[in-house]
Amino acid sequence: MIYLDNFRSTMVAPEVWEAMRTAAIDEYAVPAAFTKCGTGAAELIERAQNRLAAAIGGSQNEVVFTGSGTEAINIALRGSTWAQAVDKPEIVTSEIEYPATLAVCRALEKEGYRAHYIKVDGEGKYDLDQLSSVLNEHTAMVSLMSVNHMIGTIEPLAEAGAIIAEASQHVGRRIPYHVDFASALQTQRLDVDAVKADLVSFSSNKIHGPKGVGALYVRKGTKIRPITFGSESYSPLVPGTPNTMGIAGFDKAVELLYATFDKDVEHMQSLTNRLATGIRERIPYILLNGPDGAGRAASHLCYSFLFIEGEAIMMFLDMDQIVVDTGSACAAATLKPNYILMAIGRNHEQAHGSIRFTLSRYNTEADVDTVLAKLVPIVERLRAQSTIKPPAE
């Protein structure tokens, strides 16, 4: 199988699996004081907190582990907005966020919060002027993402952070700034101080760690309330027994990520370049969704193949053991074209014909060449069958 759907989830690295096995079988105690096994489990969590915190410029106590990236987003958005004592509270996000962020914002809207959804340009970049214009004394929270999962756009987080910091000064209160870093962790480095982020969410399964683990960075001093309650854990934000097996796996995944980070990013970039060149040279009538070159994540490509429908392309590739994703309405449970592709100005037909290729450090040049060899005839064949023809014909 050639797996090019790594922005959805990734293979668990063998070393990660081994670390999880050890944590499950040999280090299964609950974190506790004094006893050897209890302190061993506590140290496992501290080690993982330290490693992630060090990588992003934070400190150990600023990192908590959650049950998923989605849970981290829920704690960040709900917990911080609820903690703000603001009259007629408003929240700010963009129209192209991850579904979890949009779902929490819609839930908050139902609770009476006013939500602003920042628009994006044709490459998916935030309209920062609009961001400046909507921040005011009612703003309870801002949530933005680092890399867009559908179109690979690297967003101007630091510029947004500076705008939020300025607005915070103006209103005399820190407006909490949450950054969704789940899709970015694989290819982007983060310095929480440079970005001026108060909250950052992460997901383990996007970097060859297990599913069912995420993390949340909470800057010291950030006003936040727990959204779930239970027995005391190492942090009131995440009550209950910690998932030490999952945390051990996530920790190993983070260790592996940074051990070969630059080399892996370069490797993935060279593979996406090879794939992009092959597609551009061999398939006419295509559109790249999202920016070209440096403005996009190294492992990410998303093309619309005009005159044909993405689910059909995806199914043909699947029969050749190649896994990709599509923004076609036909592949969506709601039968609607992908909202991010529509937000950057694609029409229905262009969105239906989209295929997303997201690579990992485990992919090879041979994978890319196989994908090209299979993809070209699939597109030609579906175009020959299609009711829609290129304008020249």
Partner 1 sequence: MAIKYTAKVIEHFKNPHNIGVIENPDACATEGSPACGDEITVYLKIDKATDRIEDVKFQSYGCASNIATGSIITDLAKGKTIDEAEAITWKQAADELGGLPPVKMHCSVLAVDGLRSAIRKYKKEVKGIDYDSTLDVKTVTEELKHVLWPPVGVDIITLKMVKYIGIDLGAVRVEVSIGSDDKFLNPTIDEIVEHVSKIRGVKSVNVENV
Question: CB under 8 A: which stretch of 49-57, 131-139, 238-246, 342-350 binds partner 1?
Answer: 342-350
Q: Does 354 bind partner 1 (CB under 8 A)?
A: no
Smallest distance from the beta carbon of 101 to partner 1, in angstroms? 17
Catalytic residue (choose from 37, 105, 302, 330): 330
Closer residue to partner 1 (CB): 103 or 128: 103
Closer residue to partner 1 (CB): 21 or 336: 336
Phi and psi angles of residue 347, each rounded to the nearest 5 degrees, phi first? -90, 175
Residue 59's SS3 state is coil
Q: Does 46 bind partner 1 (CB under 8 A)?
A: no
Closer residue to partner 1 (CB): 194 or 388: 388
Question: CB under 8 A: which stretch of 61-69, 73-81, 133-141, 326-334 binds partner 1?
Answer: 326-334
Binding residues for partner 1, total number by CB under 8 A: 24
Whose tokens are 């403005």? That residue is: 295
Smallest distance from the beta carbon of 30 to partner 1, in angstroms? 35
Residue 170's SS3 state is helix
Gap between the Cα atoms of 367 and 1, Å rounded: 9
Nearest to 160 by CA among 173, 147, 179, 174: 179
Nearest to 191 by CA among 222, 163, 219: 219
Q: Does 387 bind partner 1 (CB under 8 A)?
A: yes
Helix boundaries (H) for the chain: 14-25, 36-56, 69-83, 99-110, 128-134, 157-171, 192-195, 244-259, 261-282, 310-319, 339-343, 348-352, 365-385
**Which one among 1, 294, 319, 366 touches partner 1, defined by CB under 8 A?**
319
Torsion of CA 336, 339, 343, 347, to 10 degrees: -30
Q: Name residues contacting partner 1, limited to 147-206 (CB under 8 A).
A: none
Smallest distance from the beta carbon of 336 to partner 1, in angstroms? 6
**Which one among 112, 231, 232, 334 touches partner 1, defined by CB under 8 A?**
334
Burial class (CB in 10 A: 0-12, 13-18, 19+), 349: middle
Percent of the chain that is helix, strand, coil (3-state, to 5)? 45, 15, 40
Q: Name residues contacting partner 1, limited to 298-317 (CB under 8 A).
A: 307-309, 311-312, 315-316
Asked about 302 being catalytic, the answer comes back as no
Closer residue to partner 1 (CB): 243 or 326: 326
Give the residue numbers annotated as catalytic, written as ranges. Answer: 330
Residues forming contacts to partner 1 in the complex (CB under 8 A) are 307-309, 311-312, 315-316, 319, 328-331, 333-336, 347-349, 352, 385-388
